[in-house]
Amino acid sequence: MNVLLDTHSFIWFIEDHPSLTPRARKLIEDVANDVFLSIASIWEMAIKVSLGKLTLSQPSDLFIPNQLLLNNMTVLDIALSHTLRVATLPFHHRDPFDRLLVAQSLIKGMPLISNDSIFDVYGVNRVW
């Protein structure tokens, strides 16, 4: 199964944070699953690092590629269809990164691993 990680799910998995549920961890660790991290999440982390709102154990240009490689995760690029789908989404909330994740999850048919219940109102298959 293909699964898409929300930004916090990626960070919590890497940090072995107790907020990540056992179910979410199991899905991420299952070698039968292909785990994706959206370029939108990488962009979001880069912005938060530059603003001092996120601290990583290494510079982001080392940390993120290393963690993707170590954990056998694949970057999900932003396609034209993803950005155009955002335009058709209702405004349940305005976070541009989350709205792009919704579009990617819906278009790709991938469950989204996230603790954020706002995704449910978009009809995303959210796993937590």
Phi and psi, residue 104, nearest 5°: -65, -45
Q: Residues 124, 106: contact at Cβ < 8 Å?
A: yes
Per-residue model confidence (pLDDT) at position 93 = 81
Per-residue model confidence (pLDDT) at position 1 = 94
Per-residue model confidence (pLDDT) at position 67 = 97
Segment 98-120, tens digit of pLDDT: 999 999 999 999 999 999 999 99
Q: Predicted confidence band at 91 (pLDDT cuts at 50, 70, 90)?
A: confident
CA distance linking residue 35 with residue 3, whole number of Å: 5
Predicted TM-score (pTM) of the model is 0.93
Residue of 116, 124, 111, 109 lying closest to 26 (CA atoms): 111
Mean pLDDT of the chain: 95
Among 8-22, 88-102, 105-119, where is mean pLDDT lowest? 88-102
Per-residue model confidence (pLDDT) at position 25 = 97
E-strand stretches of the chain: 2-5, 34-38, 73-76, 112-113, 126-127
In terms of residue numbers, what domain contains 14? 2-127
**Total tally of structural domains belonging to the chain:** 1
CATH, residue 40: 3.40.50.1010
Per-residue model confidence (pLDDT) at position 92 = 84
